[in-house]
Structures are given as structure tokens and as C-alpha cells.
């Protein structure tokens, strides 16, 4: 021991110690007081605030997608429905050996071996409890296959979901369109909050145009979660007293189309193996009865989802199955415009019932040696308006066209709806083209090109040259002839049904501007001639009009795809299939009380009367109850 | 005083063995301290059962640890303060050697080198929690009180060396607590108030100096304290969730095992450092005040024992053990309520885990030894 250290004074040392204990205790009590004050602050004064915050922690609101409305045809047959499909899912945190699991799933054929790296990446990137979809649609066989093997795949399971299904697939694809996976662009366009739980949206056709009706309103569901966002079993709901009530989604409305499935299937079959389009409608309401574009595609592929390469195959197909020819396909209308042109000529006084010409097989403008040829090289001989329509004499119309001029042609054809969109309720229409001087001035930059030439009027008179029309426009035009000038906006959707109340809202036809004639008799002249086309002795389409139980009217058209030089003969045998003429036909029936108007276009079909007219006949037969597959 | 003691000694001899207090006496156990410790432990086990998610296996493992810690307390209580004092330098030296061993050969866990495997795996820093105040008390035992400058310098070395070694692991929380336990000895020994004020004044530049030595994550904790909402899903998450848990408990709590914050795992480290928040959420202000009262009682009893202690060593050691225990309670509760930065200090006797509990119980064993061996010591 340190000898220098003083003797310890135990008493004073203890007094000092007691003093220090008192000092430290005081500090300690003060510190504890701070903690207690803090606790009182948190638990008494801020209690409400923290209680609310802890509630917010507890549950998460999850969007519940509404069930999409169904689409029916005019007789209540389902064209678009929602079917449960099973998808294969993997929950990463429940899988012990991810590589091995994926490899074995590939061996079972449930996933593609080439997808393994992608699925592995997907499984390892998200939250461990969040299911990863391995396969969007399992076949029944695959489900059965997997069900047996399930115990060997912990963490892998199948889960039902609703998938849009089109039972008639390709046959109705261009009319009702399809739904596809919701994209960023879709969300920018749509009300994102209403689509919070939705995976698909309408992309084309009725599915797209009536998206707001079909979709419905999103619902919400409270999910009890822990801090990791993981959903907890429902008994965890006992942990708290009251949650805001769940909001049930409002299902989308059902949409009833004016489309007649039987007619649609028949029209589809008629265009089997061909490229073309058919539009059939009710001239007295504008209700579309059939709208077919061939070739078509399976809309179910979009609903289920396809790989990029699968889509590329579809998109790059030379036959263009995704292209809706019925509303977007533009074709030179050819002779199908003759009835409308005849109206124009009659109204402008360029012709009358008695006016005849001598057709020698060609037409020449004054001061020109260029021969505008008739389809019949030897000529029709002496022709009046009736014959000019029924036998489709080009020369007669060349002369009429030049007489009334391009601007009158444009004006009258426009009144029939050519060269402008009709306002079809699924949109996507091409407006076609009816040329005029004004149009040409605006369409070309070169002053030389801006000039309108008489020769262009000549070929426009038979629906060639610049003139382009869509099958829908031709159907609208012939419908306007059938009703003698009363026009309706074509539409596919006839009624919308509230799924919950069952209340149906009918969509009333929209009347468009009538084609008003100075002389109503002019309708009779043209319709008579169109009747002759199909059921007269020398009509161009008399073969198609044979043995009918009703009277009908029509007009064929055969439009050139390529121009043929002056002295060349058109030989369909030798020409490339793709360069053959388009076959067109427009018709309506019955003659006195028209119920159906049809436009048929068969691309490179060579002859309107031989190829397109029989199809139109078949459709009218079926709709009017005289076909083999007569509807009702 | 002497008289009453003698009287008690005599009267206790006269009492039959059935007297419970007498039995405890014979076993060198201090009844009130044992009672306080057992009550805290019991409340702790109740809260822990909820905090481990009602996992019986985990809970039983904690019961086993508590039993082992209590056994340690009983064993330590049998060692006389004299014996402890004699062995103190050797214990301190052994602790230092082990700390150096940890830094050279220790096992790494969670980014820190704290564990030593010598047949059993343990943290040598735990030894130092008791060895440092013991050594400081030992040093002052025969010296003049209050200590003179030279003695203070040596005490500073005794405290600084293990503190720095532990801070190197790094385990800043434990290092600071060990420094505190040593400092408490000096304060209780009568460090002049003026010097204490000077030291407190030095704390400001000291803190700045400390800041430069801190690891990024430690700095983050300080920043988080100042503004927990700056990164609510990141660094501030613990504190925010902990405050929500306590605050939403209100006066009476959400009910035992009904704490949504804890049970839905919003609360991080709910069974260890943040268990106080579980108590606050489920049993409310009533629950936390009850626990704080029990702590206060144990600290008070410890200080009573210190005041009663017959010699410098026992007195200083008992005082330091009691006050350090208080510091633990304060640091943890202040941290969980967001008053001070997050430091990894468990709530004593309640948090899940065994190592620190054994040390704490050994400390209470020393207190009991000091109390029960009092009269047997020759003066």
C-alpha cells in the first residue's frame, strides 16, 4: 500500500457517498421523468394520431377488378365471355431449390425450358412472398398432370382467374375486336384508378369502343398485412375492431350487338380461303348484321397473351389477318358506283330514260385518240340508262361522267356517304376517296399534278382512278338506294344491359342526312335497273339471282388492280393472282321492302358478278329465311 | 445501528427455520432485491411471450436462460465481497486479455467482432461490464476519497483501455455503458463537482470528436433521431414504428398479444431492443409505468445496499452496479421513445437473449453478497 496515502476517514467517506447517491438519484429521477413525460406525450396527448397511424399500418386497400360485361349477338348468343382459366404460380419464399423446381417443371412441359432464366430472374427480383406467374393458361391436361405431381413442388400451385374468351374466335374478331394486356399507353388514356385491378382492356372493335360500358367499376377490398405487405389469414382481422367496408366492384354492362351470328358465320365461310370483306346491314336502321374481314385471326390469342414472336408472325403475315378490310380496306369501287352515278346524271339532267348511246367498246374524248375501253371489247351496241346499269356499260357512263363533270360526281357520291366516314360505332373507319378538283389541288404539290384532267373524270365515272371506297361505305350507299334516300348511321351495338338491374338501354338508330332527289321517280329507274342486274334476262349477275323466292336488286363491280396499257388484253389466266381484278357486289332485298343491304368484296376475285354476287345472294337468302342455313 | 444489527442477528437465530426471510438470509439472498428482480423478470416473460409471436419454444428458451441467470446470481451471492475484491485485478486482467483475443481471433457476426469461442461462445465485453467498476472500486478501496489527480489519471486509464478495445469491435453502445459504469464509480467516490461540470462542458467538443470517429451507420442513427421522417421506410423506420406502437397503446394498451404493430411485424426487433414498445402498445401507459416503478424499486434497493455497505469497495461497486442498471433502463426506454439515437442496448431483464442477463444477474448477486455478508466483515 501507498504509505503516503492518508488514513481513510470512513465516516466522512460515507457521508460523501450518501451525498453522491442523492445527487445521482436526483439526476436519475429527472431523466426518468423525461422518459415518463415522453410516454405521456406519446400515449396520452398524441394517442389519437398514433392510433390512426397504427390502423393505417394494418391494412392495405387492394383493388378488385370488376367482371367484364358479356357481348351477345342480336339473338342473345354469347360472342365474348369470361372463362375461368388456371395459371401456374410460384411463391419464391416457399421454394427450397428454385433451379431444380423450374427444371422439373420444364421437364413436365409446364414451362418452356428457354424461359427458365427469365422466370428465375423474375422469382428472385420481387418480394419473396409475391407469386410469380409461370404459365398464364394451363390446359386441362396440364392441370391434371400437375395435380398429381403437386406434392413434389412445394411453393408451386395453380390459381384460377377470369380470361376473356371468344367462342366464335376468328369469325367475329373484326367486329367485336379483342382485349389485350393493359399497356402504359392504355393507362394514360383510361382512368387509371378505375383500372387499378384490371389486367386487360379492349384494343379494337366493340371491346375497345364500348370499353367504358364493358369494364365496370373497380371495387376495393381491405387486406390485413404485415410490414412486408404480405397478406395475412382472415383471422388476423380480429386484431382490429373496424375496417372501412369492402367495396364490391360494379360489373361491366352486357352489350347486345345487332350482329346476326348465323349470318356472320355464313359470311365468314363464304370468304374462307379468300381475302375480302362483307358488310350486311339493315337499311332501315343502320344495324350491322354481318361484318366480316377475311382472313381473320383468333382474338383469344390476344386475351390469353402471346409471345413477341407469335405476334410478329401475325403482324407480318402477307395476308394481313389483323387488317379490318370491312372498315379500313379501300378499294376502287368500280361499277358498283354506277347506280349512284345514274342518280346524279338523272338529277342533273345529263340523261333520262330515253337517252341512248351507241357503245362500240370504247370511248374517246374530243380531240384525243386515247380509247377508254368498255369491259366488253365488242361493245354493247345501242344502250339506254337501264341497259347501261343492268349490263354495266362503261361507255355510257364515260359519257355521262364527262357530261356532269367530276365535281358533280363528287357531290352526289358524297351524299351517299362515299368519301367520308359513316360514324360506325366501333370506329377505325377509313374515309375512302371520291376525287374532285379541289381535292386534287390540295393533294398534290406539283402544279402540273394539281390540274384535273378530263381523262380522270372518264375513269372516275366507272369507279376507277383515284376513287376508293370501303366495303362499309358501299353497303351504306346501297342501303341509301334501297330506302330511296333515307340514311342511317351504321352501328353494331343495339342495346346495353345493366348487369345488376337487368335494365336494357336500346340504342336508337341515328338518322343521317337524306339523299333528297328533285324527282323521286329517279329512284325507280335506278332500282329497276339494279333489279334487272340480278333477275333480268341480260343482267350481269343474273346467274346469282336465279331461282329466288323474292325480288332483289344489285350491282356488280370489277375493279382493276393494275392499269392495262392501250393494246394489251387482260387475261386472267396468265396474270399473277395478286394482280387480278377485285370482285365487288352490292345488293339489297327484298325489292319492295328492303330488309338487308350487302356489300361484298373479294380481293383479286376477278369478277364481281361471278365471284362476289353469289356470296351476296347467299347472305340475303339466309337472312330472309330462304337459305340452307336459314335463320329462323 | 450496530445494536439493531446484533439484535437482528440474535433474533434471527432464535427464529425457527420456517421463517422465509431467515432462509433467504442463510442463502445470502436479499429478499426485496430478489422480489423486485423476479417481478421484473415475470413481467418481462409475459411481454416476451407476446413479442416472440407466442412462440412457445422461443419463450421456454428464455425461461431457461432466466433460470441460468438466476442460478448465477445465487452462486455469485455466496462469494464474499472480500473474496471478490481480492480477485478483482485478476478478473480485470483476464478480461483485457480476452478483449485483445477477440480483436485478433474473434468471430465476426453482423459486421462486428464481439464473440469469442473458448469452449463456450461468449462476449468478453460482458465480463468488462462488471470488471471495470470492480477494478475502479478496487483501486479506490485503499485510497483517499475523494481521489486525487494522480488517482483519477490511473482510473481514466483503467476505464479507457477496455472501453477503446470494445469500441474497436465495434460495439459503441457497450463501450459507452462500460465507460459509464466506471465513471459512476468515480462520481460516487466524490469527484469534485467542478471537475464534473468541466467534464460535461468537455462533452460537447468530445461529441464532435466522437462524430468524426463514428461509422456511417452510427452517424445515420443520430441523423435519424433528429429527423426520423426523412427516410420513413429506411433508417427512420424503427423509430417511427416504435413511436406508433407506443403511442397507439394509449393508457391501457391494446391488450396482451393484441399489439398489431408487433404482431404484424411493423415493429422491428420487437423481442430484443424494441420490446419496450411492445409493452407500451399492449399494456399501455399503465404497463410501462408499472415496469418503470419496478426498475426504480430495484435501483433504489441497490442504492440502499450501497449506502449500507461497510467498506469503500463494496459501497462503490454496489452503487455503480445499481446506477449502471438504471442507465441501461434509461438508455433503452429513451431510445425506443425516440429521445436519444438508436443504440443497441436491450431492456434489462426483459429483452430476449441470455448473455447480458447473466451479467446483470451476476451484478445483483454481488449486491446480495454485499448486503448479506455485511455483518460478517471485520472492521
Assess whether pLDDT exceeds 50 at residue A387.
yes
Of B188, B264, B338, the CB nearest to A58: B264
In this complex, the residue of B250, B265, B330 whose CB is nearest that of residue A35 is: B330
pLDDT of residue B3: 46
Q: What is the pLDDT at residue A226?
A: 61
Between B275-308 and B237-249, two packed helices, what is the crossing angle to 10 degrees? Answer: 80
**Which of A423-427, B3-7, B51-55, B216-220 bottoms out in mean pLDDT, i.e. has the lowest?**
B3-7
- Asked about A285 being catalytic, the answer comes back as no
C-alpha separations of A98 from A94, A126, A426, B252 in Å: 10, 14, 47, 47
> In B, which residues are within 8 Å of A38 by CB distance?
334, 337-339
pLDDT of residue A632: 37
Query: In which band, very low, low, confident or very high, does the pLDDT at A228 lie, cut at 50, 70 and 90?
Result: low
What average pLDDT is seen over chain B?
A: 84
- B334 chain-A contacts, CB cut-off 8 A: 31, 34-35, 38
CA-to-CA distance for B323 and B177, rounded, in angstroms? 11
Q: Closest approach of chain A CAs to the CA of B71, in angstroms?
A: 29
User: Minimal CA–CA distance to A278: which of A293, A289, A265?
Assistant: A293
Is B268 a residue whose pLDDT tops 70? yes
Q: Scanning every residue of chain B, which has its alpha carbon at the shortest distance from the alpha carbon of A240?
A: B260
> Could you tell me which chain B residue has the CA closest to the CA of A16?
B190
Strand partners, A596: A589
Q: Considering chain A, what percentage of its residues have pLDDT values greater than 70?
A: 90
**Interchain contact A40–B (C-beta under 8 A):** yes
Residue A49 in contact with partner chain B when CB distance is under 8 A: yes
Q: What is the pLDDT of residue A631?
A: 39
Q: Do B246 and A50 touch (CB under 8 A)?
A: yes
Length of chain B, in residues: 379
Distance from CA of B373 to the nearest CA of A (A): 18
Cα radius of gyration rounded to whole Å, chain A: 37
A589 has a pLDDT exceeding 60: yes
Which one from A209, A285, A296, A335 is the annotated catalytic residue? A335
Q: Are strands A511-512 and A356-359 parallel, antiparallel or unpaired?
A: unpaired
**Closest to A239 (Cβ–Cβ): which among B142, B146, B263?**
B263
CA distance A10 to chain B (A): 8
B-chain residue closest to A44, CA distance: B250
The answer on pLDDT for B6 being more than 70 is no
Full residue range of the structural domain in which residue B130 is found = 2-376
φ and ψ at A516, to 5 degrees?
Answer: -95, 125
pLDDT of residue B378: 46
Higher pLDDT, A476 or B108: A476
Among candidates A11, A499, A430, which has minimal Cα distance to A213?
A499
Q: How far apart are CA A323 and CA A486, in angstroms?
A: 30
Q: What is the pLDDT of residues A103-151, one digit of tens each?
A: 998 888 888 887 788 888 878 776 666 677 787 778 888 888 888 888 8
Which residues in chain B are closer than 8 Å to A31, comparing Cβ atoms?
330, 334
Q: Which residues of A touch B280 (CB under 8 A)?
A: 39, 42-43
Residue-by-residue DSSP string for A491-515: BSEEEEE-TTT--EEE-PPPEE---
A469–chain B Cβ distance below 8 A for any pair: no
**Cα nearest neighbour of A227 on chain B:** B266
The domain spans of chain A are 92-154
Task: Work out the minimum CA distance from A160 to partner chain B, whole angstroms.
Answer: 28
**Cβ–Cβ contact B234 with A under 8 A:** no
Q: Give me the pLDDT at residue A127, please.
A: 64
Q: What is the DSSP string of A1-41?
A: --TTSPPP-HHHHHHHHHHHHHHHHHHHHHHHHHHHHHHHI
ipTM: 0.88
> Residue B90: its pLDDT value, please?
95
Tell me which residue of A175, A193, A191, A165 sits closest to A68, measured CA to CA: A165
> Judged by CB atoms within 8 Å, which residues 205-234 of A form the interface with B?
224-228, 232
Angle of helix A471-482 relative to helix A338-347, nearest 10 degrees, comes to 50
CB contact under 8 Å between A28 and B330, yes or no, is yes
Mean per-residue pLDDT, A250-276: 93
Overall average pLDDT of the B338-350 stretch: 86
Give the minimum alpha-carbon distance from A219 to chain B in angstroms, rounded to a whole number. 25
> With contacts defined as CB-CB under 8 Å, which chain B residues touch A47?
247-248, 250-251
Q: Do A5 and B330 touch (CB under 8 A)?
A: no
Write out the three cell numbers for A510: 341515328
> Would an 8 Å CB–CB cutoff place A44 in contact with chain B?
yes
- Band of residue A504 on the pLDDT scale cut at 50, 70, 90: very high
What is the arithmetic mean of pLDDT over B193-220? 80
Average model confidence (pLDDT) for chain A? Answer: 85
A residues 236-265 near B, CB within 8 Å? 236, 239-240
Evaluate if residue A566 carries a pLDDT over 60.
no
Check whether B186 has a pLDDT greater than 60. yes
Q: Considering only CB atoms, which chain B residues are within 8 Å of A40? A: 285
How many whole angstroms separate alpha carbon A584 and alpha carbon B284?
85
Q: What is the pLDDT of residues A523-561, one digit of tens each?
A: 999 999 999 888 888 888 888 888 888 999 999 988 887
> Which stretch of DSSP H or E encloses residue A364?
strand A362-364
- How high is the pLDDT of residue A236? 54
Query: Does the beta-carbon distance from B246 to A42 stay under 8 Å?
Result: yes
Domain count within chain B = 1
Over the stretch B129-174, which tens digit does the pLDDT of each residue have?
Answer: 999 999 999 999 988 888 888 899 999 999 999 999 988 877 778 8
CA distance B322 to B32: 14
> In angstroms, what separates the C-alpha of A25 from chain B's closest C-alpha?
8
Percent share of chain A, pLDDT over 90: 39
Minimal Cα distance from A48: which residue of B? B248
CA–CA separation, A500 vs B43, rounded Å? Answer: 57
Within 58-97 of B, beta carbons closer than 8 Å to A belong to none
pLDDT at B145: 80
**Concatenated DSSP letters of A296-335:** ---THHHHH---HHHHHHHHH-TT-TTS-HHHH--B--GG
Amino acid at each position: 500500500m501507498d504509505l503516503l496515502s492518508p488514513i481513510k476517514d470512513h465516516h466522512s467517506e460515507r457521508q460523501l457517498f450518501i451525498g453522491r447517491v442523492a445527487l445521482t438519484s436526483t439526476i436519475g429521477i429527472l431523466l426518468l421523468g423525461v422518459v415518463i413525460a415522453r410516454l405521456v406525450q406519446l400515449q396520452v396527448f398524441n394517442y389519437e394520431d398514433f392510433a390512426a397511424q397504427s390502423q393505417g399500418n394494418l391494412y392495405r386497400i387492394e383493388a378488385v377488378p370488376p367482371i367484364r360485361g358479356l357481348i351477345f349477338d342480336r339473338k342473345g348468343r354469347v360472342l365474348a365471355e369470361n372463362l375461368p382459366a388456371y395459371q401456374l404460380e410460384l411463391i419464391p419464399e416457399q421454394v427450397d431449390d428454385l433451379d431444380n423446381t423450374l427444371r422439373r417443371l420444364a421437364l413436365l412441359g409446364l414451362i418452356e425450358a428457354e424461359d427458365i432464366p427469365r422466370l428465375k430472374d423474375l422469382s428472385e427480383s420481387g418480394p419473396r412472398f409475391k407469386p410469380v406467374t409461370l404459365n398464364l393458361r394451363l390446359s386441362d391436361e396440364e392441370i391434371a398432370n400437375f395435380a398429381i405431381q403437386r406434392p413434389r413442388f412445394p411453393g408451386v400451385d395453380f390459381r384460377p382467374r377470369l380470361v376473356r374468351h371468344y367462342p366464335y374466335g376468328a369469325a367475329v374478331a373484326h367486329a367485336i375486336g379483342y382485349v389485350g394486356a393493359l399497356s402504359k399507353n392504355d393507362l394514360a388514356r383510361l382512368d387509371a384508378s378505375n383500372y387499378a385491378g384490371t389486367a386487360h382492356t379492349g384494343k379494337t372493335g366493340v371491346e375497345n369502343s364500348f370499353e367504358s360500358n364493358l369494364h365496370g367499376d373497380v371495387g376495393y377490398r381491405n387486406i390485413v398485412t404485415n410490414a412486408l405487405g404480405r397478406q395475412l389469414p382472415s383471422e388476423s382481422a380480429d386484431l382490429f375492431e373496424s375496417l372501412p367496408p369492402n367495396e364490391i366492384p360494379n360489373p361491366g354492362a352486357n352489350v347486345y350487338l345487332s350482329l346476326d351470328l348465323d349470318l356472320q358465320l355464313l359470311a365468314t365461310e363464304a370468304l374462307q380461303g379468300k381475302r375480302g370483306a362483307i358488310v350486311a346491314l339493315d337499311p332501315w336502321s343502320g344495324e350491322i348484321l354481318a361484318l366480316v374481314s377475311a382472313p381473320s385471326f383468333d382474338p383469344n390469342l390476344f386475351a390469353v397473351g402471346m409471345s413477341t414472336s407469335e405476334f410478329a408472325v401475325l403482324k407480318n403475315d402477307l395476308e394481313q389477318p389483323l387488317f379490318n378490310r370491312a372498315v379500313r380496306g379501300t378499294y376502287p369501287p368500280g361499277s358498283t358506283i354506277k347506280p349512284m352515278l345514274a342518280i346524279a346524271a338523272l338529277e342533273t339532267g345529263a340523261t333520262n330514260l330515253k337517252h341512248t348511246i351507241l357503245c362500240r367498246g370504247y370511248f374517246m374524248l374530243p380531240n384525243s385518240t386515247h380509247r377508254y375501253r368498255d369491259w366488253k371489247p365488242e361493245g354493247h351496241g345501242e344502250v339506254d340508262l337501264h341497259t347501261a346499269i343492268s349490263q354495266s356499260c362503261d361507255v355510257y357512263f364515260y359519257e355521262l361522267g364527262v357530261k356532269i363533270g367530276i365535281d358533280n360526281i363528287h357531290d352526289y357520291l358524297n351524299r351517299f356517304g362515299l368519301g367520308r366516314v359513316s360514324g360506325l360505332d366501333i370506329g377505325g373507319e377509313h374515309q375512302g376517296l371520291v376525287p374532285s378538283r379541289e381535292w386534287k389541288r390540295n393533294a398534290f404539290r406539283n402544279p402540273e399534278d394539281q390540274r384535273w384532267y378530263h381523262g380522270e373524270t372518264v375513269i372516275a365515272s366507272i369507279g376507277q382512278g383515284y376513287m376508293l371506297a370501303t366495303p362499309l361505305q358501299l353497303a351504306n350507299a346501297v342501303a341509301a338506294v334501297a330506302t330511296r334516300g333515307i340514311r342511317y348511321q351504321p352501328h353494331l351495338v343495339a342495346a346495353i344491359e345493366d348487369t345488376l338491374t337487368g335494365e336494357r338501354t336500346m340504342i336508337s338508330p341515328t338518322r343521317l342526312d337524306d339523299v333528297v332527289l328533285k324527282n323521286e321517280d329517279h329512284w325507280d329507274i335506278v332500282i329497276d335497273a339494279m333489279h334487272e342486274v340480278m333477275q333480268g334476262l341480260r343482267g350481269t349477275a343474273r346467274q346469282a339471282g336465279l331461282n329466288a323466292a323474292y325480288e332483289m336488286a344489285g350491282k356488280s363491280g370489277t375493279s382493276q388492280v393494275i392499269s392495262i396499257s392501250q393494246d394489251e388484253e387482260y387475261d386472267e389466266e396468265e396474270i399473277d393472282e395478286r394482280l387480278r381484278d377485285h370482285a365487288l357486289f352490292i345488293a339489297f332485298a327484298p325489292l319492295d321492302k328492303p330488309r338487308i343491304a350487302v356489300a361484298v368484296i373479294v380481293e383479286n376475285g376477278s369478277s364481281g358478278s361471278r365471284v362476289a354476287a353469289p356470296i351476296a345472294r347467299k347472305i340475303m337468302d339466309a337472312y330472309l329465311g330462304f337459305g340452307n342455313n336459314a335463320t329462323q | 445501528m450496530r445494536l439493531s444489527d446484533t439484535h437482528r442477528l440474535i433474533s434471527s437465530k432464535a427464529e425457527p427455520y420456517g421463517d422465509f426471510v431467515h432462509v433467504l438470509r442463510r442463502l445470502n439472498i436479499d429478499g426485496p432485491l430478489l422480489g423486485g428482480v423476479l417481478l421484473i423478470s415475470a413481467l418481462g416473460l409475459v411481454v416476451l411471450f407476446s413479442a416472440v409471436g407466442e412462440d412457445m419454444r422461443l419463450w421456454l428458451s428464455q425461461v431457461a436462460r432466466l433460470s441460468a441467470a438466476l442460478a448465477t446470481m445465487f452462486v455469485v451471492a455466496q462469494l464474499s465481497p472480500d473474496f471478490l475484491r481480492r480477485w478483482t485485478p485478476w478478473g480485470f486482467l483476464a478480461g483485457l486479455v480476452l478483449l485483445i483475443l477477440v480483436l485478433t481471433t474473434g468471430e465476426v457476426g453482423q459486421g462486428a467482432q464481439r464473440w469469442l469461442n473458448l469452449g463456450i461462445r461468449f462476449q468478453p465485453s460482458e465480463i468488462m461490464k462488471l470488471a471495470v467498476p470492480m477494478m475502479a472500486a478496487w483501486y479506490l478501496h485503499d485510497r483517499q476519497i475523494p481521489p486525487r489527480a494522480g488517482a483519477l489519471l490511473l482510473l481514466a486509464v483503467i476505464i479507457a483501455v477496455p472501453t477503446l478495445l470494445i469500441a474497436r469491435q465495434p460495439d459503441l453502445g457497450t463501450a459507452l455503458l462500460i465507460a459509464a459504469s466506471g465513471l459512476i464509480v468515480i462520481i460516487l467516490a466524490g469527484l469534485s463537482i467542478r471537475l464534473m461540470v468541466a467534464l460535461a462542458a468537455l462533452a460537447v467538443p468530445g461529441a464532435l470528436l466522437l462524430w468524426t470517429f463514428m461509422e456511417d451507420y452510427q452517424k445515420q442513427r443520430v441523423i435519424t433521431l433528429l429527423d426520423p421522417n426523412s427516410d420513413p421506410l429506411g433508417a427512420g423506420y424503427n423509430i417511427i414504428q416504435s413511436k406508433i406502437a407506443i403511442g397507439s397503446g394509449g393508457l391501457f394498451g391494446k391488450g396482451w398479444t393484441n399489439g398489431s404493430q408487433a404482431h404484424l411485424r411493423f415493429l422491428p426487433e420487437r423481442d430484443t431492443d424494441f420490446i419496450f414498445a411492445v409493452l407500451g402498445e399492449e399494456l399501455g401507459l399503465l404497463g410501462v409505468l408499472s415496469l418503470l416503478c419496478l426498475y426504480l424499486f430495484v435501483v433504489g434497493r441497490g442504492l440502499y445496499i450501497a449506502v449500507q455497505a461497510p467498506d469503500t469497495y463494496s459501497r462503490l461497486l454496489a452503487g455503480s452496479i445499481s446506477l449502471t442498471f438504471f442507465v441501461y433502463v434509461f438508455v433503452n426506454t429513451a431510445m425506443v421513445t425516440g429521445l436519444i439515437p438508436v443504440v443497441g442496448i436491450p431492456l434489462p431483464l426483459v429483452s430476449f437473449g441470455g448473455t447480458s442477463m447473466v451479467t446483470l444477474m451476476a451484478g445483483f448477486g454481488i449486491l446480495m453478497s454485499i448486503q448479506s455478508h455485511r455483518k460478517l466483515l471485520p472492521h
